[in-house]
Amino acid sequence: MDNNFNTKQLSEDTKNILGLQLPTDPRWVDLAGISLAEILTDHAYCEQKAATTCISLIQKNSDKEKLVNELAPIVTEEWGHFRLVLQELRKRNLQLGKQRKDEYVNKLLVFQHKGGSNEDRFLDQMLTMALIEARSCERFKRLSEGLKDAYLSNFYRRFMESEAGHYTLFIGLAETYIDAAKVRKRWAEWLAYEAEVMQTLEVRGDRIH
Ligand SMILES: [Fe+2]
Ligand SMILES: [Fe+2]
């Protein structure tokens, strides 16, 4: 592990609420602040993907009543987030750019159980979503604290709060259908893997992750 970053540098709330093992490189928020069109575009697609992934989870898990009931409103919420970001782009006369390859998410997908039982695959799908929500929440927190523009800083605080709620929701869904001790054990493996992934990614201000 890179010694420049350690868990001591995590703020208490990030550490306690999200469990993430590696804080975002402090240079990232400054880079993001100067590539607003790119960061807003990338953010817009993250919200779209959150909505479409929730739709596909509902389709694949129609027998899980609680999951269907809880994810249905999240689809609306994530789509609402997409519209908020789009509005921000329009207000600033910025274009919604092209969708880029999502290296962070692609690297997480590699860690998912492809074989194994239905339960193992389901657990990994829930934990992947929880992790993306947790990291997005952490990134939005950085933006809300680090951007000079007070309006944008408030804009990102609102996203931070809703993604923290989504992180909790996915962990809760995993524990609804799977033994809590098994969920915790696999979650610890995911957190360790995600910290490795974060270290391999270039620090770029044009992407949320
Ligand atoms: Fe969202
Ligand atoms: Fe979310």
Q: What is the DSSP string of the chain?
A: --TT--GGGS-HHIIIII--SSPPPTHHHHHHHH-HHHHHHHHHHHHHHHHHHHHHHHHHTTT-HHHHHHHHHHHHHHHHHHHHHHHHHHHTT----PPPP-HHHHHHHHTS-SSS-HHHHHHHHHHHHHHHHHHHHHHHHHHHHH-S-HHHHHHHHHHHHHHHHHHHHHHHHHHHHS-HHHHHHHHHHHHHHHHHHHHHS---TT---
User: Among 6, 19, 65, 11, which Cα is nearest to 164's?
Assistant: 19
Q: Relative to the alpha carbon of 208, which ligand is closest? A: 1
Ligand nearest to the CA of 165: 2
* Nearest Cα to Cα of residue 71 among 161, 194, 172, 208: 172
Q: Which ligand is nearest to the CA of 133?
A: 2
Taking the centre of ligand 2 as the mean of its atom positions, its distance from the CA of residue 169, in whole angstroms, is: 10
Residue tagged 């809590």 (tokens): 180
* Ligand 1 geometric centre to CA of 41 (Å): 14
For residue 133, the CA-to-ligand 2 centroid distance in Å is 5
pLDDT at 21: 87
Contact at 8 Å (CB) between 127 and 187? Answer: yes
Nearest CA-CA partner of 190 in 118, 117, 110: 110
pLDDT given for residue 16 in this prediction: 53
Alpha carbon of 179 to ligand 2 centroid (Å): 24
Surrounding residues of ion ligand 1, Cβ less than 5 A: 47, 78, 81
- Ligand 1 centre to CA of 147 (Å) is 19
pLDDT tens sequence for the chain (209 residues): 333 333 344 345 444 557 898 888 889 998 988 889 999 999 999 999 999 999 999 999 999 999 999 999 999 999 999 999 999 999 999 999 999 999 999 999 999 998 889 999 999 999 999 999 999 999 999 999 999 889 999 999 999 988 888 998 999 999 999 999 999 999 999 999 999 999 999 988 889 99
pLDDT at position 114, please?
A: 86
Q: Which CATH architecture has domain 33-200?
A: Up-down Bundle (1.20)
**What is the whole-number distance in angstroms between the Cα of residue 179 and the centre of ligand 1?**
27
Determine the distance separating the centroid of ligand 2 and the alpha carbon of 3, expressed in angstroms: 31
Note whether 133 and 192 are within 8 A (CB): no
What distance in Å separates the CA atoms of residue 40 and residue 42, rounded to the nearest whole number? Answer: 5
Distance in Å, CA 92 to ligand 1 centroid: 21
